[in-house]
Structure 1
Amino acid sequence: MERELIINAEASYRLAEQKASHYFKLLHEQVTQKKYVPTLTNDFQSWKQNHIHHSFLSLFLQERRKPAPREYYNYIHWLNKNGKLDHYLNRSVSYIFLRDLGKVLDSPDTKKKIQRVVESIKNHLTNSTTNQGDKIEVFSIAGLYRWAQKEGVESTIIWLINKLKTVSILIPEGMDAENAQRKLIKIIAGVLMHELEEKGNDILQEDRSWKLNRAIRLGYSYGLTYPFIDDLLDANVLSVDEKKQYSDLIRSSLLTGSVSEIGEWTGDNSDLIKVIYSELKDAFEYIRDNQSPDTTKKFFEQSYIFFNSQEEDREKDLSHPHYTNEELYIPIILKSSTSRLIARSVISAHEDKDFESRTFYYGIYNQLADDFADMFDDMGNGMVTPYTYYLKYHDKRSDLLNPFELYWTVISHLIHNVYDSETKTREVILDRAINGLKRFKERMGENKYNEVMGVFASGNPSFNRIIQKMVQKAGDVDFFDKLLRDHIITDLRNERKEQEDFLNTIETARNQIDNILRIPKDDHLALHEPITDAANYILEGDGKRLRPIITWVMAIDGYGLKSTLIAPLLRSLEYMHTASLIFDDLPSQDNASIRRGRTTLHQLYNIATAELTGLFLTQKAVEEQASLAQFDSKAVLHLIRYSAKTAADMCKGQVIDLDSKGKQLTLEQLNWMCFYKTGLGFEAPLIMPAILANANESEIKSLKTFAKHAGIAFQIKDDLLDVEGELDLLGKPIGKDAKNNNSTFVSILGQEGAKRAMWEHYCLAMEVLEKVPRNTLFLKHLLNYLVNRDH
């Protein structure tokens, strides 16, 4: 039963608005009187001692050797080699504690915590290297799952991986899927930071795991509002009327604490809204049900303030020439502060007035920095921000507040009024400000940058000269979170591009393989050839062709073999695999009625024809292997010997499988059976081209280990699909294993345990790829495909 909430959202909004108005008046006065100019001029005189090199030659030589920050791996390596990594990380972590956790940096406790985090990050960066030696893995599914195992949150990370996949699928065309995922990850990380800070060190591992599980789910639930509310309402996906309907639904839910029904939807995006709203509903109810009674009301009121201030900004029209300064800035003060306040209140954290006060004053600083960086994108989208509005109307309205001047005013106010002129805070905030301008200048180019400065900085020429000198000459002002942000965005984009290339490669290879599989009839035979017809019938089914595709890619891209020369090998692999399926489907074995979306051979013809067709295809496979005449004869003999042994071992696995029906296998027995039945089926496509290319034993051993774990992961996914899948997608009946009383990973471990086992084998397979001295990108995406497929 839902708790009845009394949410004074409108009253809370008015109170917050009054507080924001008071803050804005204070800032307005300081901007008008230009109080920030002498104050920050003095600050920069002290600050520049640590950031401007007096020896031009040393600066020139250092900068010439220094990799660009966007060169993530090389840049981290350069920082460490030159003894700069500690200071770089300390500055970066200090900024996170200042911005996200609302801490004061001169606190002894905060200093200790910052140092612990710095040491942890440095240790990870300098020790987690790839097989190239200088590349550092920071974010990967395998790395994330290994962390989850250490913290006891595997089930939640599996859940999160699936949720992130769902979000990626649901992001409609016209929205930035990579940025949505990045923002979601950032919010989850922010909520986790608050949870870790809130819990302290004196906590049992069981309690820590429970809190982390909850924080990850809460972080996802809160973060989901960014792509599915904020970004969706900002984009041009929904019509004006649809945006109004959607907004009203969200507002109603926040005012009542209960998710409103969609009702009749007017517009073309009904299907999209229904599925997105369903995800939001689950997230909303998870947050509500995991709030403590004394923080629920506050959470909903903060959420309403955030949403309503966003709406006020969103409803502005850039063609409207008469917005007041208050109308432009007060919603920004509200939304920028409450977005971070929610990240803390969502975990039902205890009240902290100092945190709330500092966060309230700090928020607009970040928002003004972000709006400056995005001003031309925002202008192109017709969005009203202080910068876009000033760009359009500054020469028509002398009363408009210059947002760039306000930005420096906020910095001055934070340093000297909020943080009491604390040295480290001044250092970090000025670092961040100059770094922001440097990044903007690099991205826009010098001419555009000077044009922008001509508009926003012309009112204070002496102060502008100081700023531009810092932008031009100051070093050591970059931040790890920006580096990581750029790296994650690049990785997400590359991942998507690689995934598209992977799917295109599969499609290309599959089409080529489909065209060479058909077995010609023997014209010399006077009688009808039912076996050839039966073989071609089953070969023409909707098979995935994974095994010959793997061989095709490894042979061509991995070993440089010619595609025309390996055609017999591709045919042999598919013939052998198809033969194993025919035998597997027989009444004496699995008694299947559907295979590859078609009636099985023994049902279409008869059992004898099916058995003989399987034997026929096995012999055709040997014939194809023996025709690899362009390769070294010893290698071909080695390949045939390996192929025969593999086929024999797979038969052993099938016998074990048949003998296990009605019996409860141990996990070890199931793993061995799976290796013989499925793992070897993945091993052969990797090892056969390696044999033809005369690869060394160490490489072959690593490929075999990869195949073993990939094969088991594949089988576990098959077992999961048998209880979770859909007939139309699978091409075979679901629930077959339970009906036949087969031992499976699900029957032994349960669904949750089977998922954990699948991801464990995924990690082991990914980790062994580091030892393979080939381009393993295809195998990485193949593994991702195997565990994420729906058929």
Structure 2
Amino acid sequence: MNDVLVIDADLAYQRAEQKAEKYFNDLVKEIKEKTYDQTLINDFLSWKGNHIHHPKFFSYFSRKNRKPSSKEFHQYIQWLDMTNKLEGYLDRSVSYLYLRDLGKKLNDPKTEEKIQKEVARLKNQLTNSSSNETNEFFNISRLFRKAQKEGIDHTFVWLMDKLNGVARNIPEGLDAVNARRKLIKIIAGVLMHTADEMDEDVSVNRENKLDQAIRLGYSYGITYPFIDDLLDSQILSEQEKINFSEIIRTALVTGNVPELGQEWSVERLQFMQYIHSELQEAFEYIKSHQSHENLHKFFEQAYVFFNSQEVDRRKNLTNAHYSNEEIYIPIILKSSSSRLISRSILTVSDDEGFENRIFLYGIYNQLADDFADMFDDMKDGAVTPYTYYLKHHKYRSDLINPFEMYWAVIVNLIHNVYESDPKTKDVILNRAINGLKRFKEKHGQRKYKEVMSQFASGFAFNKVLQRMVDLADDVDFFDKLLRDHMITSLKNESDEQEQFKETIESVREHLNQHLEISRDAQITSFKDKINDAANYSLSSGGKRLRPIITWFTGVKLYGVNEDSILPLLKSLEYMHTASLIFDDLPSQDNALLRRGRRTIHEVYNVAIAELTGIFLTQKAIEEQCILNSFQTETILKLIQYTAQITSNMCKGQMMDLESKEKTLTLEQLNTMCFYKTGLGFEAALVMPAILANAKETDIQALKKYAKHAGIAFQIKDDLLDVEGNTVELGKQAGKDNENNNSTFVSVLGVEKAKIEMYEHYSLALEALEEIPANTNFLKYILNYLIYRDN
């Protein structure tokens, strides 16, 4: 099999170069002869009728007609719908994706039918979604529900494990937000190819196809952050880049990934081991899912893509001697081969002319992207047609103006490749004008004029072009809206997560300073072992999760003064620590380690441990009694609730003891987990709500959230007991198996336990929707619970 995989890399690249060179020469001929100038003028004059509208006088005063910023996702969609623009907006957006990603001809009857079907589906989804649903287009619980509906919940769990692994292992110095965005975009693109193919054949196994598409999309997608972005960054040394490039090149030529080797600095070795392992697994998956006849084609296209990137990557912006061919041919190759790879990793049929259309279309997108990013690329010293022209055109009159090349490509696509099809012309010109509008909005009028004076001042059609940029409307695209929304969402999420972590650390540190229990001054002739044991247990660290949840709920959700609830935070940690002491006793779990240290009964003895547990329980009640800022009636209600919760948690522990060496049903596990773990989370949420005199509907929603969050937490604990290690956990790994305890893993198995965890994760998130307030911190708490390593 390996012999079959070996490709003649030089020959494959040479053939691709020859094809790119012919295309380049055709474009240069058009540029030299200026044949496109009048063609573009005519195209825009016919195009403007649908895209330049003079608003009626009264529309200036109508709120309905005031266009919101596209950054306001939901409001923008609403505005499009109210002004009857949504359908046209979606039609051109979906049509563009069919052109760019699927290589389709828009005048094909089957394609037209598919586009209309997708437009109707999207319109229905967008107009029937609540603001919350639309603004959370990438909401994990909703994606899980969709996966359940399609029967691929196991694939969803696999993907989440992978994406979270990527998020944890993206080295500092890479753009984590854009890395995640690209990865998600590529997975979505492969799914789009698959969905298009399944429309042609209703007999296919839909679940298997979707599962394979997601895994293939991820396997291809991680090459962007972990090969392309990594090699473009300054994270690796020059020698390490050479070593890494050689590993990739060898894999593509031979079909086998070589060993990583040890030629890496100490600080980079760990993440390179992860990257190598992940890429190797992805490589083998793609290889095993290629049809025999497509295998060579895939490797050749992948090699062309990689090598063209390497050729570009090795260029230096200060070198004034690159020819036009050296600048443009690698661009043509990498822009076309990246699209062809997305298609080639799937076993799908292509219509006649598909590959040629994709090949000719690629440079259009690349030049548009390079135009949008030219200032960032210039700052980074990256060589693109735009940065190189800006740097050297004053001294190199032979250099081709990349903006002129861009319009030559557009004319060629509209009139030669797509045979002057009206809809194709409309979509491509829309996209071009939209790109210029976005550039102008981002950089401002002055910078835009400066750029246009450098790139467009000599064009015959420039006056018409600028009029279109100034006056044209209805040229926006849904994929751009989604892109902006995704970047904003991921960035906001990342920023909020960081703030959330900082707040957690601040609250934890503040609480730790107040947890120590003072020695009893009356005990002088005896050593106060109970006090010492309590402080030993309290000083052992711990996540302080329950009091932290209480702080967020009280302070952030209900506006309670943070100093006034400090006794409640201490109370919760005392209660929780007491429960752990009892849990660890020889008569119960017989644990030797807790929070990375010997347990109380190991350090002292069983009697001291039992007394310390009772002592801490009573100290918890004492702290609640000194919540002086609240009404007596409220405090009594709080203490009554505490007593109920404590007694019920005792029942949960009893259930746990009774279940040892017994096989439990899932229902029994859920019940036991709720009593033993879920009630602790409930207390952390409901106690501050009681102090704030929250509405009963809020309290019920918080209880529902706590129940499912608690079960999700317990499932994660059971998974860590199987998959974790003692050092990271701070307690003995594999203890459940040693004690022959029934757990979610023993009852369901690892994969189904993860699915069950996401089920409760989703139910917890759905419960939060019943609370009319910002509950983002509870979402972050939930993410922390299921994505933790200890």
Q: With structure 1 as the length reference, what TM-score do the two structures score?
A: 0.97
Matches of residues 272-671 of structure 1 in structure 2 within 5 Å?
272-460=271-459, 462-526=460-524, 527-671=526-670
Residue pair 1:259, 1:281 contacting (<8 A) in 2 also = yes
- The structure 1 residue matched to 2:210, chosen from 199, 206, 212, is 212
What residue number does 2:249 align with? 251
Q: How does 1:756-771 map to 2 (within 5 A)?
A: 756-771=755-770
Query: How far, CA to CA, are the matches of 2:573 and 2:787 in structure 1?
Result: 23
Residue 257 (structure 1) shift: 0.9
| Shift in Å, 1:675 | 0.4
Label 1:664 to 1:124 Cα distance change in 2 as closer, same or farther (>3 A): same
Q: Give the deviation of 1:3 after TM superposition.
A: 6.7
- Partner Cα distance (1:712, 1:7) in 2: 52
SS at match of 1:10: helix
Give yes or no for the alignment of 1:225 onto 2:226: no
SS at match of 2:628: coil
Contact 1:128-1:136 within 8 A present in 2 as well: no
Q: Out of 52-61 and 258-267, give the one that drifted further.
A: 52-61
Task: Give the C-alpha shift of residue 431 in structure 1.
Answer: 0.4
- In structure 2, relative to structure 1, the CA distance for the partners of 1:663 and 1:272 (3 Å cut) is closer
2:234 to 216, 220, 236: 236
Q: What are the superposed Cα offsets for residues 161-194 of structure 1, whole Å, 9 maximum, x if unpaired?
A: 1212222222222221111111111111111111
CA distance in 1, matches of 2:261, 2:650: 57
Residue 259 of structure 2 is matched in structure 1 by: 261
User: 1:498 Cα deviation (Å)?
Assistant: 1.1
Tell me, in whole angstroms, the C-alpha distance in 2 between the residues paired with 1:400 and 1:145.
Answer: 52
2: distance between equivalents of 1:55 and 1:487?
28
Q: In 2 relative to 1, CA 473–698 (structure 1 residues): closer, same or farther, beyond 3 Å?
A: same
Give the aligned residue type for 2:630.
Answer: F
> Is the counterpart of residue 68 in structure 1 residue 66 in structure 2?
no
Per-residue CA shift, 1:420-461, capped at 9, x if unaligned?
11111111100000000000011111111111101100111x
C-alpha distance in structure 1 between counterparts of 2:747 and 2:167, whole Å: 32
Which deviates further from its counterpart, 434-443 or 514-523? 514-523
Give the aligned CA root-mean-square deviation in angstroms. Answer: 1.6
* Pairwise CA distance, 1:255: 0.8
Distance 1:766 1:591 in 2: 35
Instruction: Kindly state the Cα deviation for residue 209 of structure 1 after the two structures are TM-superposed.
Output: 0.8
Contact 2:410 2:428 in 1 (8 A): yes
Q: What is the alpha-carbon distance in structure 2 between the residues aligned to residue 618 and residue 169 of structure 1?
A: 38
**Offset at residue 267 of structure 1 (A):** 5.2
Runs of 4+ displaced beyond 6 Å: none
Q: AA paired with 1:119? A: A
Which whole-Å CA distance do the structure 2 matches of 1:360 and 1:545 have between them?
57
Partner of 1:41: 41
1:93 equivalent in alignment to 2:94: yes
* C-alpha deviation, 1:47, in angstroms: 0.7
CA contact (8 A) 2:712 2:761 kept: yes
Distance in 2 (alpha carbons) for counterparts of 1:215 and 1:518: 55
CA drift of 1:522 comes to 1.6
- 1:62 Cα deviation after fit: 7.1
Q: Separation in 1 of the partners of 2:96 and 2:60?
A: 28
Q: Which amino acid in 1 is paired with 2:216?
A: L
TM-superposed deviation, 1:590: 0.6
Aligned to 1:7: 7
- Once residues 362 and 651 of structure 2 are traced to their aligned partners in structure 1, the CA distance between those partners, rounded to angstroms, is 66
Q: In the aligned structure 2, how far is the partner of 1:504 from the partner of 1:2?
A: 51
Distance 2:50 2:62 in 1: 15
Distance (whole Å) between structure 1 residues aligned to residue 304 and residue 86 of structure 2 = 40
Question: Secondary structure of 1:200's partner?
Answer: helix
Q: Which residue of 2 aligns with 1:107?
A: 108
Q: Is the 8 A contact 1:102 1:358 kept in 2?
A: yes
Q: Does 2:166 match 1:178?
A: no
Whole-angstrom CA distance in 2 between matches of 1:30 and 1:78? 42
Counterpart contact for 2:564–2:627, Cα < 8 Å: yes
- Mapped contact 2:74–2:131 kept (Cα < 8 A): no
- Within 2, Cα distance between the matches of 1:694 and 1:128? 32
The CA deviation string for residues 564-586 of structure 1, in whole angstroms up to 9 with x for no partner, is: 21122111111111111111111
Distance 2:203 2:733 in 1: 42
Query: How far apart in 1 are the matches of 2:465 and 2:484?
Result: 25
8 Å CA contact 1:125–1:136 kept in 2: the answer is no
> 2:492 & 2:613 partners in 1: Cα distance?
42
For 2:730, the equivalent position in structure 1 comes to: 731
Q: Bigger shift: 692-701 or 74-83?
A: 74-83
Local SS of the residue matching 2:135: coil
* Residues 125 and 138 in structure 1, CA contact (< 8 A), matched pair in contact too: no
Assess if the C-alpha contact under 8 Å between 1:128 and 1:137 holds in 2: no
SS in 1 for 2:353: helix
Q: CA deviation at 1:313?
A: 1.1
- SS of 2:590's partner is coil
Q: Is the 8 A contact 2:414 2:421 kept in 1?
A: yes
- Greater shift, 599-608 or 701-710, is seen at 599-608
Counterpart of 1:129?
Answer: 130
Task: Give the superposition deviation at 1:266.
Answer: 5.6
- Distance (whole Å) between structure 1 residues aligned to residue 278 and residue 661 of structure 2: 40
Q: Residues 150-161 of structure 1: matches in 2 within 5 Å? A: 150-161=149-160
CA distance in 2, matches of 1:47, 1:700: 58
Q: CA deviation at 1:538?
A: 0.6
Give the aligned length.
787
Q: How many angstroms apart in 2 are the aligned matches of 1:628 and 1:165?
A: 41
Secondary structure of residue in 2 paired with 1:41 = helix
Residues 48 and 472 in structure 2, CA contact (< 8 A), matched pair in contact too: yes
Residues 130 and 770 in structure 1, CA contact (< 8 A), matched pair in contact too = no
Superposition deviation, residue 113 in structure 1: 0.8
Q: Structure 2: which amino acid aligns with 1:594?
A: L
CA distance in 1, matches of 2:176, 2:409: 33
Letter aligned with residue 531 of structure 1: I
Aligned partner of residue 702 in structure 1, secondary structure: helix
Contact 1:241–1:267 (CA<8 Å) still a contact in 2? no
1:394-439 per-residue CA deviation (whole Å, 9 max, x = no partner) reads 1111111111011111111101111111111111100000000000
The residue type equivalent to 2:531 in the other structure is: T
After TM superposition, give the deviation of residue 130 of structure 1 in Å.
4.7
How far residue 263 of structure 1 moved from its aligned partner, in angstroms, is 3.0
Taking the aligned partners of 1:71 and 1:576, their CA distance within structure 2 comes to 45
With over 3 angstroms needed to count, the CA separation of the structure-2 counterparts of 1:3 and 1:661, relative to structure 1, is: farther
Aligned residues of 1:17 and 1:334 also touching (Cα < 8 A): yes
Q: What letter matches 1:126 in structure 2?
A: T
> What is the one-letter code of the residue matched to 2:474?
D
- Structure 1 position 60, deviation (Å): 5.0
Using a 3 Å threshold, how does the CA distance of structure 1 residues 389 and 57 change in structure 2: closer, same or farther?
farther
Moved more, 473-482 or 103-112: 103-112
Cα distance in 2 for residues equivalent to 1:41 and 1:236: 45
